[in-house]
Structure 1
Amino acid sequence: MFRPVRIEAPAELPVSLEECKQHAVVSFDDDDALMETFLAGATEYLDGFRGVLGRFMVTQTWQVARCNFARRMVLPVPDVSSVEVTFDDAEGTGQTVPAELVQIVPEARGTLVRLSSDFELPDLEDDNPAPVQLTFTAGFGAAAEVPMPLKIAIMRLARYYYDDRLGTGATMSWSDFDRQIAPWRWMSV
């Protein structure tokens, strides 16, 4: 499996600028751009393949390429709501596995993508190192569906970045922060 590539970014951040400013007790607009940067950084720290949560918060679309087919393929993330399986056949023509022949099942290692036995595994393009693509949508949904403890964690982290922007030694209880996000942290078993 090749490195995942984001195809479609989330439509919104899990927390709005106004929510973050209210949490940080910032009542003026002069630092909005700065606060938006910290809000985006806090979200990125938690969200996605590289984030400490190991999962997506707001729905987004990613693609993983593979060198071959298998009846059972695992996406290394939870909360997958849809998947499309495409491939380049032996002639190099792009094809799509019919949706009714693809099943997604949550499991301990992420999300299992299972191809029906009714789908005959085709010959793939020889010169292509990754002729099979799994394009999937994952996340809790819209920002309103992101669990509140995660929204609070984002606001806490953005406020910490804001308060310590000059390196003055602002403090945050990282052990409390870790306990707050722990129930939502996902790791493959």
Structure 2
Amino acid sequence: MALKLTTAPTAEPVTLAEAKAHLRVDVADDDLLITNLITAARVHAENVCRRAFVTQKWDLYLDSFPKYTYYGVVPGYVPVDQLPSGWLSMRNYAVRFRGGKIDLPFPPLQSVDAVKYTDLSGVVQTLATNLYVVDNISEPGAITPAPDTYWPDTQNRVNAVQISFTAGYGAAAAVPAGIKAWILMRIGALYENREEVLVGQRLVVADLPFVDGLLDPYRIAGYV
């Protein structure tokens, strides 16, 4: 699996003016430094949360489409509607209907812009939008084959599948307040401490335990 950022965010969740107000800086001498600190803090927060904040576009590359699985076993292409009806009525039997799903990182997922693949003849094809279903409610978002369809076969090569998608909360104003508060505090720490270590006499360094907790509601536990 490989990921490529194709369109970076056009704005940061925190503006230069907001950061300077938080830092109580009135002059323009450090504007470039503070601007760079905003970006550094945002990237750190996105990595911690495994999210995208302001709208951005990505390409996800896979070596092939996933296969349907039941209990983690690949039994062949057997759609759910062709399974014995008795199996589906048994409460103790669970069919992994979404075994063919592809999780898309960096939620929230806004849209899937294109699904391309290299077919068995080596030709790049664009999968019709009616052949897959986009789930932008779950986090992470995902795509699955449309009902009664399967992912197409691909040539045996690296990066045979390319999924282009748009992620993020939207504009900077849509980013949750807790994330913005964490970014401001991280900017403050970076601005006051511009080296890797602190050197001083009788210096006591104490963490503020609530700070990282600001990001807890927005952390994504994991995705493929």
TM class by shorter chain equals 0.7 to 0.9
- In the alignment, structure 1 segments of 5+ residues that lack a partner are none
Match of 2:215 in 1: 181
Moved over 3 A (4+): 117-123, 166-174
Following superposition, the deviation at residue 160 of structure 1 comes to: 1.1
Q: 2:134 aligns with which of 104, 123, 137?
A: 104
Give CA-to-partner distance per residue, 1:61-109, whole Å, 9 cap, x none: 111111112342222443111112111122322211112322222446x
The DSSP-based 3-state class of the residue aligned with 2:2 is: coil
Deviations 1:155-182, CA, capped at 9 Å, x for gaps: 1111110011255579674411112111
CA contact (8 A) 1:54 1:77 kept: yes
CA change 1:136–1:174 in 2 (3 A) is farther
Q: TM-score, normalised by structure 2?
A: 0.73
Task: Choose between structure 1 and 2: higher strand proportion.
Answer: 1
Asked if 1:89 is matched to 2:158, the reply is: no
Contact 2:2-2:62 within 8 A present in 1 as well: no
Is 1:116 aligned to 2:116, yes or no? no
Question: RMSD across aligned C-alpha pairs, in angstroms?
Answer: 2.2
Matches of 2:21 and 2:126 in 1, distance apart?
Answer: 47
Deviations 1:102-122 (A, max 9, x none): 2222446x2221121465643
Which structure is larger by alpha-carbon Rg, 1 or 2? 2
Q: Please tell me the residue identity of whatever aligns with 2:169.
A: F
Corresponding position: 1:165 with 2:194: yes
1:160, 1:172 within 8 Å by CA — same for their partners in 2?
no
AA partner of residue 188 (structure 1):
G
Instruction: Identify the residue that residue 53 of structure 1 maps to in structure 2.
Output: 49
- Report what 1:25 is aligned to: 24
The one-letter amino acid paired with 1:88 is T
The separation in 1 between residues aligned to 2:213 and 2:192, in whole angstroms, is 22
1:62 matched to 2:58? The reply is: yes
In structure 1, C-alpha distance between the alignment counterparts of 2:105 and 2:28, rounded to whole Å: 40
Percent identical across equivalent pairs? 30
